[in-house]
Amino acid sequence: MRLFYEYLNNLPAVVIKKLNNFIYQSSNFSPIEMDQLVFWIENEYEKVICILSIKILVLHFKNYAEIYNVSTHLSFRRLGFAYNLLKFAIDFIRHLIPDVIIWLGVDIENRNAIKLYHKLGFQTLNISNYTPSGKYRVKPFIEMLLNI
């Protein structure tokens, strides 16, 4: 089994795709935190429309990608940006790490986000206070996995 850092060695610093007038980008969070990636969509004025982060980690000899901080600018909501950016990020991560398990946690009351993740094929796993890396959150959240 190849671990994620072997894949990250081959990771380009910035990946760009253009769709209509929007630019989809990906970068390492920093040269130090190589296991964290940021994905975002910019318009032609270099304004960020939508953003998300992914942390890649190894647990019990499996590669996990934890998606977090998904957010769309208030003026650009309900236009498909979060859906498209998540698709772009998931395709990218799966290309990089084919056996990756894609995980996220979402607030129980966040109906819009839950709908968004269901539309992408995420399934509810559990209600939990712990992220896969063992981080405790006071408020319980719904754990979701893609293609369980």
Ligand X SMILES: CC(C)(COP(=O)(O)OP(=O)(O)OC[C@H]1O[C@@H](n2cnc3c(N)ncnc32)[C@H](O)[C@@H]1OP(=O)(O)O)[C@@H](O)C(=O)NCCC(=O)NCCS
What are the residues binding ligand X (CB under 6 A)? 50, 70-72, 77-83, 106, 110, 112-113, 115-116, 119
Order of all β-strands in the sheet with 36-42 = 14-19, 22-28, 36-42, 48-59, 62-72, 101-107, 136-146, 122-130
Q: Which helix (H) or strand (E) holds 119?
A: helix 111-119
For ligand X, give the closer residue by CB, 52 or 100: 52
State the minimum distance, in angstroms, from the CB of residue 81 to ligand X.
4
Q: How many CA atoms lie within 13 A of 99 on its CB side?
A: 11
Instruction: Find out whether 38 and 11 touch, Cβ atoms under 8 Å.
Output: no
For ligand X, give the closer residue by CB, 29 or 83: 83
State the minimum distance, in angstroms, from the CB of residue 36 to ligand X.
17
State the minimum distance, in angstroms, from the CB of residue 67 to ligand X.
8
For ligand X, give the closer residue by CB, 12 or 109: 109
